[in-house]
Structure 1
Amino acid sequence: MNNLREEIKNMLSSIGDGRSSVSPYDTAWASFIIDHTDINGTSKRPLFLSCLKWIIDNQLDDGSWGEELVFCIYDRLLNTLACVVALTLWNTCLHKRNKGVMFIKENLRKLEGGEVVNMTSGFEFVFPSLLEKAQQLHIDNIPYDASVIKDIYARREVKFTRFPKDLIHTIPTIVLFSLEGLKDLDWQRLLKLQMEDGSFLTSPSSTAIAFMETNDDKCLTFLQNVVQKFNGGVPCSYPADIQARLWGIDRLQRLGISYYFEEEIKDLLEYVFRNWDKENGFFSARNSNICDVDTTCMAIRLLRLHGFDVNVLNKFKDGDEFFCLRGESNKSATVMFNLYRCSQALFQGEMILEEAKNFTYNFLHQYLANNQSKDKWVIAKDIPWESDFDNYKILPSQVSGRKWFEKCNFQQFGINKKEVLVSYFLAASSIFEVEKSRQRLAWAKSCILCKMITFYINQEATTWNSLLMEFNSYSDMSRKKSNETKEIMVLNNLYQFLHQLGKETYQDLGIDIHHQLHNVWEEWLMSLNNTPCQEEAELLVHTINLAAGHMTHDEILSKHTNKVCHMLNEFQNGQISNSSKARDIEFYMQALVKLVFSNTSSNNINQDIKQTFFAVVKTFYYTAHVSEDTINHHISKLKFFFRKPSNILM
């Protein structure tokens, strides 16, 4: 485990300009470049011989080029056609060329059933361009007049209407990533849209055609650097420093292991923040001259959740809709998914993110209603379960074991085994770190004990004063050993819990929390006779934080937590029904988000303490908005991870 952790730390600290897999397509375009240097009258040769060598060495057994373990027909055909053209251009390894042609001929028809969402970026531009190049080289046995090819040309014409020639030459657009697919360009005008590193929107293939047309030194320098860095196998985009950092952090969070790498994540986000473009947002690389909503929203969400001050953008809204890149023909579900996740980090008054939340929510639900779950990006498969909690992989038997349940006689207080499991599910969904089992158990058991106490007080007449008095004088645990009455049962259960939690915290951390723990529960018990009473949420927060050894709390956060959770309880119980009250809940939730994640507020409070407030409120929000059947479904999914699901509970 430690070795793996160190390996990941080393990877995070050495991201540099980002790493990505080799693109046979871009490698082929680099290999097209002719070395015009005259050496003793030799015939023409490739400027980047290592690129041609990579193509020769990396053909797959079926004759194609591409990712061996991932088959996307658009990507595989594009790669293979480019490599076939490269081998033909340099008249080498013709047997490999012929095998590639055969693959294209046998698989071209698969484009007819290809999912449009899986289409490679700019495919409608660049595939026809390669076909024309192949025809010029007299590569036979490719069905150039097939109906599916005609359909691609028709798609290209439609896409041309979205990008008028004058627009392409005037402002940076996504077309700069696929210049090799266009004709009749004014290259001197286009050079003004070149990035600082010499590339055209980080694309080696686009930069390769630009160099072939202009002999621009900056283009050449970029290509030389990329080819040398990757030993001939060129990626589809370089650099990818921003994307690599953001998606690396996101993946660690989704795996539930980001807490192992807090210092590394801080360094990565500081790099991202230093390169943050306040006016435009982000593309995959620093200093890009265009931005996309996917990378920008990932940056906004992660930066905000780590206390960085970043503002939202209006660039990606057109009328009532949001887009990733202007002129796109299809909206990616994964991009909309990331925009939806970003909208969860909105503060009060940020209408643009409120609108983004509503738009993406409707888009994703329609997407699922149409039985769609495919996308070319990596997290589309998770979209059907986004309402699920991300992390619920740890469910120890001790929390809901038969012994604890039966020993405490919870059945006599209207509590069943399922409620114990739900309580732990909510706790484990938010506090999933292995070493935080004490806090997790404190949360789950506190929920059950609160249910027990409120049930008892509601069922028994004139019990509140008696219970409170007994609690204050109940310091000798050995004084009452048998559960003679329900009151004694309640006091025994509560004191055993407080005593055990205090003991474990002292053993693990060397911090004595007995007195503070008694005080926060006494305060909650006293509030039960008030109207309104102190919310259970504040008690949970204080108990969890004390279990973590945090002896301080924040009055402002406590006030907001009580306010939000009180309203959520009313909402759940049907006491709030009109839309204005629901908007009030959202308003106070957004205020809480800002208090927790903005460094301008509660500066002296430990971030872990603030996170506990937010984690508890999120579970109240979840149970108020999600039906019991849905919660049961989420828990049943959790059980799937265990070899013997019958042993999870009891």
Structure 2
Amino acid sequence: MLSVATPGAGIRPIRRCSILLCSDFPVTSLPLFRLSPLSFILNRGCSGKKKDMPISYPGEGKAEVGRRRRIADVTVTTFAWRENSSIKPSTQECNVEVEWPSRISEADQEETIINLTVESGIRRMIEEVKEMFLSMGDGEITSSAYDTAWVAMVPDLTGGCGPRFPSCLQWIVDNQHGDGSWGYGGLFSAHDRIINTLACVVALRSWSASPEQCEKGILFLKENMRRLAEEDEELMPIGFEVALPSLLDIAERLGLDLPYDYPDLEDIYAKREIKLKEIPRDVMHHVPTTLLHSLEGMPDVEWDKLLRHQNLDGSLLFSPSSTAYALMQTGNQNCLLYLHKVVDKFRGGVPNVYPVDFFEHLWAVDKLQRLGISRYFEPEIKQCMEYVFKYWTEYGICWARNSLVQDIDDTAMGFRLLRLHGYGVSPDVFRNFEREGEFFGFVGQLNQAVTGMYNLNRASRLVFPGEEILQRAKDFSCRFLREKQASNQLLDKWVIAKDISGEIAYALEFPFYASLPRIETRLYIEQYGGADDVWIGKTLYRMPYVNNQVYLDLAKADFNQCQAVHQLEWLGMQRWYKESGLEVHKVTLKTALRAYFLAAAVIFEPDRSAERLGWAKSALLAEAIAMCFQSECYTKETKFTAVNGFRVNGQQPRWGWKRTGEELMDLVDGLIDALEAMPSRGQRPKLPAKTFRQNLRCAWEEWLTGLKEEAGDAQQCYKEGETALLLTRAVELCAGRTEPVHDTARQEYIHLAHLITSVCGRLHLRASKDNNNGSSREDVESQMQELVKSVCQRHSPNGLDDQTKQTFLAIAKSRYYTACCPSAVLDKHIAKVLFEPV
């Protein structure tokens, strides 16, 4: 619980330094202030007076405190912090006054002048990511020793006595580990090392190549075969139970000295039989299935029938090993062309699957969005979405375009991202993965992967009214994930990630309606493993454009830059709070912090300060006025006088003694003046002063008029809904957008205004202990569905601006979040988002 500390004794007076911020670039390079989340959040004096305050930095001595001193005084032309003055902005108050303990100067007399421009490191990382997206083709993926070995076993089909792909054999020779194994070197997995090593020793013995390396590999297999039983089954590569027995049969025919009768192998052979029975041979020959990916483990197949399921690129379900085996059995020229292409691209060391274009495009976009850095790459993201939509099918997609087999994981990710970006995709695509009320990963499969159900759950949250298939998908995926969560079985068959359990916990507790961007980003930065995350296919592999350190480093740098801006704004908010006397009106500093946090958690970009502060300060003044009007000393007549006075004040000044309500009206006037005075930044337009003032005053007048009625539950719901609309209008005006006048856009605006007032009012009713009933919950959900539909669906060119629609959704989501988030959790989120750097 956050609390205000009492000024302590013996703390030396604090001195003041001034900071001015500027930027002509979307991100601002700012000093990162290390603020104690439990003492600094609510404790700093903001009145401009020197006062003693207890300032705590856990675990640091005086010398470390001294090193934290930061003083910046940079001339600016595009951004001044006049919002810190509540009523009468002055030139002196264009500076944010940050007060530091005078003891800092004793520890470090040298002042640091910080140039507040974009750091070259951030620019470099942005350009590096842009280059990744520019070079995206069929996918960047690491090599697989297993698949390389199968391709190396292909003989020269023109009559020669050597391998068709000698570069693959050379790759095997060059990539053995010191312990004699082959496989992914980033971590040790028994399943991965054994299947890779067995394939490589078989390939070497097939061509009588590098006998010493072959013997070293055999020794590794003998010593480590027992470790298969010690490892979690979730780490078993795709098709392992089919591929391993097949390789052992070949190894035995080649005379390799291996433990063929090892007891634990019996279990693997049994799983092989179960796997083969799941999809009968006649089905496999007539319908494309996932077994096409593992044909090297399939004896006695009818190749003339199977080759009907060959992909357009000549592969068998994009598997080099499966395609190599098919080539050896049939001599099919399309198989040969595919393998030549893959071997040439990867210089001998082929991957376990290729292409992976959908996988790369979709997951890269998802990472950028969740890490909070997608705004730098909007053109690149649009190209990715256009690419995926071009090849989207009613049956779904898999990891590569033009696939005859689809999977729920890629389909769910594609559906969610396409719908979020306004593309028309039907949820009926998920009917292909449903059977008797359950959802599965591939057609014909009976089991589910954790991440597949996780992505299905995320997709199901973008439901429009009447989409029952998504409701069923949500119910099933929630039940599946919670059962796995309860039994601590969240290991996944597709990926070894840093914190899958944390990702799933957040998705279940804060689904789309309640997920605010900065909270998701702050937590995901901790959950994302960067280059350490490993994917599970036929072997372990990495996707460099999906999981890499550059994304993570950029996300951390960007988050800390934004947080520095938010910390400075919060200092200004505290000063404005004290100067405005809101404490007298029963608005606490903690309420002010929460109001600012909600605004910053949604509108976090440095260049959107006016929108952020317009939201937060309007929310606080609305709260103060509402409480004032609800007090017993305020009659209907006095309310009318105060509101009418606000109207008059727009035309002529008032003098003399004012009642409390009239003082608050003056604060609203001061806020309008301060917001109008804030200059625009970047490409954001600025409305003419008269237009801005008239529109924002009109919004306040309409809100105030509704407060003149008697109090009660209905009035409280009305107030909550109308306040949400007031905040929406304030944010829009601060962003330089007025209410639309064109018929089509106007109708959309009116519809969204009705939805947000109704949703936010019902959310208040739902949060009430006395009114937490099912009908209220259903009403909220149905209206949120309609709101999401209105925001996500594309309309005519004359329709409502997309950014305006996003503002409506952002305000609604912030109210949904506060309605479902426990107070203690909210306080933790405040500390993480605003005060704990990453």
What TM-score do the two structures reach when normalised by structure 2? 0.72
Match of 2:821 among 597, 603, 626: 626
Q: 1:64 to 1:431 in 2, by over 3 A?
A: farther
Separation in 2 of the partners of 1:485 and 1:197?
79
Measured after TM superposition, the shift of residue 517 of structure 1 is 1.8
Note the residue ranges of structure 1 that are not aligned, 5 or more in a row: 644-650
Separation in 1 of the partners of 2:346 and 2:159?
27
Deviations 1:26-59 (A, max 9, x none): 11111110114345xxxx2111111111122222
Q: 1:506 to 1:246 in 2, by over 3 A?
A: closer
1:91 maps to 2:203: no
Match of 2:398 among 276, 280, 283: 283
Aligned to 1:465: 640
Q: 1:488 to 1:528 in 2, by over 3 A?
A: closer
Deviates more, 1:9-18 or 1:429-438: 429-438
Separation in 2 of the partners of 1:600 and 1:414?
45
Deviations 1:83-123 (A, max 9, x none): 22222222222332233333333333332232222221111
Measured after TM superposition, the shift of residue 492 of structure 1 is 4.5
Match of 1:502 among 672, 676, 682: 676
Match of 1:270 among 375, 381, 386: 386
Separation in 2 of the partners of 1:536 and 1:444?
12
Separation in 1 of the partners of 2:299 and 2:649?
86
Identity of aligned residues (%): 39
Aligned to 1:567: 762
Deviations 1:274-311 (A, max 9, x none): 11112x11011111001111111111111111111111
Measured after TM superposition, the shift of residue 316 of structure 1 is 0.8
Separation in 2 of the partners of 1:423 and 1:96?
66
CA contact (8 A) 2:646 2:662 kept: no
After the TM superposition, which residues 85-234 of structure 1 pair with which residues of structure 2 at under 5 Å, given as runs?
85-140=202-257, 142-234=258-350
CA contact (8 A) 1:400 1:420 kept: no
Deviations 1:246-301 (A, max 9, x none): 111111111111121212211221121111112x1101111100111111111111
CA contact (8 A) 1:180 1:205 kept: yes
Measured after TM superposition, the shift of residue 511 of structure 1 is 2.5
CA contact (8 A) 2:687 2:737 kept: no
Aligned to 2:421: 306
Separation in 2 of the partners of 1:633 and 1:99?
54
Deviates more, 1:633-642 or 1:235-244: 633-642
Deviates more, 1:183-192 or 1:525-534: 525-534
Deviates more, 1:581-590 or 1:179-188: 581-590
Aligned to 2:150: 29
Separation in 2 of the partners of 1:76 and 1:467?
77
Separation in 2 of the partners of 1:148 and 1:24?
24
CA contact (8 A) 2:143 2:351 kept: yes
Aligned to 2:521: 391
Measured after TM superposition, the shift of residue 576 of structure 1 is 4.1
Deviations 1:523-542 (A, max 9, x none): 21222225545521111111
Separation in 2 of the partners of 1:374 and 1:421?
38
Separation in 1 of the partners of 2:575 and 2:651?
23
Aligned to 1:549: 736
CA contact (8 A) 1:246 1:298 kept: yes
CA contact (8 A) 2:628 2:634 kept: no
Separation in 1 of the partners of 2:806 and 2:383?
20
Deviations 1:12-32 (A, max 9, x none): 132121221112211111111
Q: 1:446 to 1:127 in 2, by over 3 A?
A: farther
Deviations 1:370-397 (A, max 9, x none): 1233223257342122235423544422
Aligned to 1:380: 500
Aligned to 2:127: 6
Q: 1:209 to 1:38 in 2, by over 3 A?
A: closer
Separation in 2 of the partners of 1:473 and 1:245?
57
Q: 1:156 to 1:638 in 2, by over 3 A?
A: farther
Deviations 1:118-160 (A, max 9, x none): 22111111122222222222222x3332232222112212222
1:514 maps to 2:693: yes
Separation in 2 of the partners of 1:98 and 1:11?
41
Separation in 2 of the partners of 1:602 and 1:447?
33
Match of 2:138 among 17, 29, 41: 17
Aligned to 2:582: 410
Q: 1:416 to 1:113 in 2, by over 3 A?
A: farther
CA contact (8 A) 1:399 1:445 kept: no
Deviates more, 1:617-626 or 1:334-343: 617-626
CA contact (8 A) 1:282 1:296 kept: yes
Q: 1:593 to 1:601 in 2, by over 3 A?
A: farther
Separation in 2 of the partners of 1:24 and 1:545?
56
The one-letter code sitting in structure 1 at the alignment partner of 2:219 is M
Measured after TM superposition, the shift of residue 564 of structure 1 is 1.5
The one-letter code sitting in structure 2 at the alignment partner of 1:28 is A
Separation in 2 of the partners of 1:566 and 1:451?
15
Separation in 2 of the partners of 1:412 and 1:80?
74
Deviations 1:609-628 (A, max 9, x none): 11111111112222222322
Deviations 1:149-181 (A, max 9, x none): 222112212222211111111101111111111
Separation in 2 of the partners of 1:217 and 1:5?
43
Separation in 2 of the partners of 1:72 and 1:411?
60
Deviations 1:211-246 (A, max 9, x none): 111111111111111111111111111112222111
Q: 1:200 to 1:451 in 2, by over 3 A?
A: same
Q: 1:621 to 1:50 in 2, by over 3 A?
A: same
Separation in 1 of the partners of 2:593 and 2:276?
57
Separation in 2 of the partners of 1:147 and 1:320?
39
Aligned to 1:647: none
Deviations 1:393-452 (A, max 9, x none): 444223433434433333333333333333333223322333323322322333222222
Bigger relative contact order, structure 1 or 2 (CA pairs below 8 A, ≥6 apart): 2
Q: 1:449 to 1:287 in 2, by over 3 A?
A: same
CA contact (8 A) 2:607 2:681 kept: no
Separation in 1 of the partners of 2:228 and 2:593?
49
Measured after TM superposition, the shift of residue 68 of structure 1 is 2.1
Q: 1:492 to 1:136 in 2, by over 3 A?
A: farther
Separation in 2 of the partners of 1:363 and 1:641?
34
Match of 1:456 among 628, 637, 643: 628
Note the residue ranges of structure 2 that are not aligned, 5 or more in a row: 1-121, 523-558, 710-714, 741-748
CA contact (8 A) 1:322 1:359 kept: yes
Deviates more, 1:353-362 or 1:72-81: 72-81
Aligned to 1:427: 599
Separation in 2 of the partners of 1:640 and 1:136?
65
Deviations 1:69-88 (A, max 9, x none): 24333223222222222222
Deviates more, 1:490-499 or 1:125-134: 490-499
CA contact (8 A) 2:759 2:812 kept: yes
